[in-house]
Amino acid sequence: MGVFSLERPRRILMFYPRRIGDWVVVTPFLRGLREKFPETEIVAVASAKSAAVMPLIPFIDRFHVLGRPENIGQNLRLLKFLFTSGIWDLYIDLDPNPAFSRGGWIFAQLTRAEIKAGFERIGNEKFQIRVHLPEGECPMLERYAILAREMDIPYQARPELRVFSEDEKLAEREIQNLNLARPRILIHPGDLKRESGVRWPMEKFADLGKRLRSENFSLFFLAGPGERPWVENLAAQIGIEPSYVIGPRPLKEAAAFIRQADLFVSSLNGSSHVAAALGVSTLSLYMGYDWKIWRITGDRHLGLVGEERNCRAIAVEQVYASIKKTTERTSSK
């Protein structure tokens, strides 16, 4: 472990080759970094899987993308940036995983910086700041709290994203046309490309939706890339028209639609973290591992937990009761 002594860095470069939800969870650290160094240029390098969320992070000045291996042109542009950007005052590898990704190791070796910081791992022994994490399953938000303390950076465990006014106006117009009464419940069945254990079953979402609709709850739905046919089918089973399915949209637009909801219901995924970071109340369905590592914290965010590697056993009645509890609390305010 090192001692962070750089007083006023002019330029900071950060690297994190992970997914959208990972970058959302790191925003409390980024907010503290910006608060400590308000005049510093802060540049991030993200993966292609997380590029869509980067414009929504208000604490960085610009970002570059590490493309997929087959995207040779994009990666050559990134290498050109790295070789021509000069020496950075501070380089931060934000990845808390114990093993380097191949791209992460290469980037750490090639980046020229006065001070390099990151979590302890094999391959970064020459980093001036190496943060040791406790043994066992340490929540992600706590990992960045530890990094912030080591670097004397203010930290509040509250993820934060922004939306743009043009997207907000678009979402307001379209939601107004749907004539949705409040409270509005936005349902995202989850990333359908992921393994079934981390997704609550579609048939349970259908049963839940039918029950909510029978009691005149206002429902609309979010569909990610490649998900619209599945989500339209879910809406049809509930008896709701396809016009109430939002998406797929670019994430910056989808974020504005999420902001129109009073409650966001989903199996835990990146969109759950986006909703929470936008200030929307969430009800997330977790497998046990994700509850311990990726839990969304705060009074406005409820979670139901299934088995260690499976959320499918969570009962419809449990989810319905949690929605009733949340919407009654919201209506009483």
Give the tens place of pLDDT for each residue, 40-92: 999 999 999 999 999 999 999 999 999 888 888 888 998 899 899 999 999 99
Instruction: Specify the pLDDT at position 171.
Output: 97
Comparing CA positions, the residue from 80, 41, 319, 39 lying closest to residue 205 is: 319
Instruction: Specify the pLDDT at position 330.
Output: 60
At 197, give phi and psi (nearest 5°): -65, -25
* Class level of CATH domain 166-331: alpha beta
- Please say if the pLDDT value at position 243 is more than 70: yes
> Do the first three CATH levels of 11-150 and 166-331 match, i.e. the same topology?
yes
Copy the structure tokens of residue 261: 């909801």
CA–CA distance, 326 with 34 (Å, rounded to integer): 34
Looking at 3.40.50.2000, 3.30.70.270, 3.30.300.30, 3.65.10.10, the CATH number of the domain 11-150 comes to 3.40.50.2000
Task: From residue 71, give the alpha-carbon distance in Å to each of 18, 46, 49, 213, 251.
Answer: 17, 14, 13, 45, 21
Domain ranges of the chain: 11-150, 166-331
C-beta atoms surrounding 203 within 10 Å: 11
Instruction: Specify the pLDDT at position 332.
Output: 47
**pTM of the complete model:** 0.94
Cβ-based neighbours of 91, under 8 Å, separated by 6 or more: 12, 13, 14, 15, 108, 111, 113, 115, 116, 117
Handedness of CA 233, 237, 242, 243 (dihedral sign): negative
